[in-house]
Amino acid sequence: MSELFKNLIAGEWVEGASTNANINPSNTGDVVGTYARASKAQAEQAIAAAKAAFPAWSRTTPQERYEILKKASDEILARKEELGRLLSREEGKTLPEGIGEATRAGQIFAFFAGECLRLAGEKLASVRPGVEVDMTREPVGVVGMITPWNFPIAIPAWKIAPALAYGNTVVFKPADLVPGSAWALVDIIHRAGCPKGVLNLVMGRGADVGQTILEHKDVTAITFTGSVSTGRKVAATAVASMPMKKIQLEMGGKNPLVVLDDADLKVAVETAVNGAYFSTGQRCTASSRLIVTAGIHDKFVEAVAERLKGLVIDDALKAGTHIGPVVDQSQLDQDLKYVAIAKDEGGKLFWGGELLNRETPGFYMQPALITETTNSMRISREEVFGPVANVIRVKDYDEALAVANDTEFGLSSGICTTSLKYATHFKRNSEAGMVMVNLPTAGVDYHVPFGGRKGSSYGPREQGAYAREFYTTVKTAYTFAG
C-alpha cells in the first residue's frame, strides 16, 4: 500500500476523513500518491490552531522569520529537480517548466525572507504642537488560502511566503486535483522551523474545506486564485461574514496579443506560440486572443501554424516534449467544447484541435489555432484555459487597441511592434494590470507586483513588496510627550 500524505494541523500530521488518488495526466495508470482529504471539523481545528498561534508568531523578530523562510528557500532550490519532476508528473507541465516553477518558488521565499527585514513604517510631524505621529504595519491575523491547480507550487509560495514574512498565520487549502507539490512545500516550511499552528495544510474538497475557511469568523483574510465564478462566491461570502474579511482575488483572463504590420515576424510568432500554448495554455496570463493587423495577418497565421507543426506533444517527463497533456478529462472536454463552439460561430480551425494518442493513456490534445473570428464570438469573450487561441483580423493599430480593451478581463496584454510610438502608446492605454512589449503575455518576475483589472483581479496586488498591502494593516499612533 502506498504512503498516505497527511494534513498538517497544529504542527501534527493527521489523517483525513477520506483519501484522494493523485493521477498523472501524462499516464492515467500512474498514481502519484494518496493524499488525505480533511473534513469540515478538521478545517475548523486548523483555523483554531492558527488563531492560537497568531499572538506569539506576530511578535517574533524579523530575524526569526527570516531564518525560517531562508532555510525553506535553500531546501526548495536544492531540491528543484526533484520538486519539478513531482510537479510535472501531477500537473502535466513539461519537466523544464516544472523545474522552472520550483526554482521560482525558492526565489520567492528568498525574496520574502529579505522582506522580513525590510518592512518599514513612517513618521510624520503632527499638525498639533508636541505630538508625534507614527504609522506602522502589523499582520492582519489568520489568512485563509485557496490555490488553483495550474501552478501548484509557485502560487502557494507567493501566498504563504509573504503571509509568514509579515507575521500572519495560515490555513492553506490547495487544489484537490494536484495536492503533491503543495504537500511537499508545506513539509519543507514545517521542517524549516515553523512553530506549530503557524502553517496549517488542509487538503480536500472546496465544499468541505474551502467553504469552512470562507465562512469561519476567525479567518481574517482570504486570498484566492481560481475561476471567476468561484471568485465571485468567495467575495460574496467574505462580505456577508461577520466580521467582514479582507479579500484578494486573482481570477480569469482573456489576454490580447496585438501583432502590428511592422512587427518582426519571427519575434511575433515565438511570442504568440509561447504565450498561447506553452504550459498547455493552462495559464491565466495566456495569449488567448491574437489580434493581428491586415498587412501581416496571413503571413503570421501561416508562420504560427508551421511553428505548431514542429512542436512535440507528449509525456511531460519525456526529454524533447514541448507541450504536455491537459490536466484532466474535465478540462480536456472544456477545451474541445470551445473549439466546436468557435467553428459553429463561423471560425475556421486553421490547424490542430484534435485528440492525440501517445504511448501512455493521457489527456493529449493538438494545440488549436482558430482564424476568421470576431471579438463578439464566445471564443473571444470566455476563458478556455487550454491550448486554444483565436486570431482576430483588424485594419490598424487603433482598431487593435479597441479590440484588445473590449473585454471583461484585464490581467495581461501584449504587443509585437518595432515602433516606439505604438509600444509607448499601448503601454499607457492598454486596460490591463500587466503589459508586455515583444514578450509573451505569460511569464512574469517574482519581485514585482502581479495582478489585473476589471474582472480579472480584486484587491491588492500579489508578489514583490506590494504584497504587504494585503498581508498587513496600517496602524496610526499619536504620542504627546507632555
Beta bridge partners of 436: 414
Determine phi and psi for 476, rounding to 5 degrees. Answer: -110, 120
Could you give the CA distance from residue 457 to residue 388 in angstroms, rounded to a whole number? 22
What is the pLDDT at residue 134? Answer: 97
Cα torsion angle, 157, 162, 165, 171, sign: negative
Q: Which residues pair with 258 in a beta bridge?
A: 291, 415
* Beta bridge partner(s), residue 247: 222
In the block, cell 514542429 appears at 310
The DSSP bridge pattern shows strands 453-454 and 409-410 to be antiparallel
- The set of cell numbers assigned to 458 is 480584486
Tell me what pLDDT residue 407 has.
98
Element (H, E) at 233: helix 228-240
CA pseudo-torsion sign 339, 294, 298, 400: negative
Per the structure block, which three cell numbers stand in for 331? 478540462
pTM above 0.95, yes or no: yes
Inter-CA distances, 285 with 117, 125, 277, 314, Å = 31, 44, 11, 23
Of 284, 383, 416, 462, the active-site residue reads: 284
Supply the angle between the helices 95-118 and 154-165 in degrees, to the nearest 10. 10
Are 321 and 314 a contacting pair, CB within 8 Å? yes
Determine what percent of the chain falls in helix, strand and coil, rounding each to the nearest 5: 40, 25, 35
Give the span between the Cα atoms of 410 and 164, in whole angstroms: 29
Return the axis-axis angle of helices 397-405 and 420-429, rounded to nearest 10°. Answer: 20
* Active-site annotation holds for 416: no
At CA 207, angle to CA 204 and CA 213, rounded to 5? 80
Contacts of 30 (CB under 8 A, 6+ apart): 23, 24, 89, 360
Choose the catalytic residue: 75, 90, 250, 270.
250
Instruction: Identify residue 9 by its one-letter amino acid code.
Output: I
Q: What is the pLDDT along the chain (482 residues), one digit of tens a residue?
A: 578 999 999 999 999 999 999 999 999 999 999 999 999 999 999 999 999 999 999 999 999 999 999 999 999 999 999 999 999 999 999 999 999 999 999 999 999 999 999 999 999 999 999 999 999 999 999 999 999 999 999 999 999 999 999 999 999 999 999 999 999 999 999 999 999 999 999 999 999 999 999 999 999 999 999 999 999 999 999 989 888 999 999 999 999 999 999 999 999 999 999 999 999 999 999 999 999 999 999 999 999 999 999 999 999 999 999 999 999 999 999 999 999 999 999 999 999 999 999 999 999 999 999 999 999 999 999 999 999 999 999 999 999 999 999 999 999 999 999 999 999 999 999 999 999 999 999 999 999 999 999 999 999 999 999 999 999 999 999 999 87
Query: What are the beta bridge partners of residue 14?
Result: 7
Side by side, which strands form the sheet with 18-24?
Answer: 4-5, 27-37, 18-24
CB 339 within 8 A of CB 388: yes
Residue 3 is predicted with a pLDDT of 86
Give the pLDDT of residue 202. 98
DSSP 297-333: HHHHHHHHHHHHHT--B--TTSTT-SB---SSHHHHH
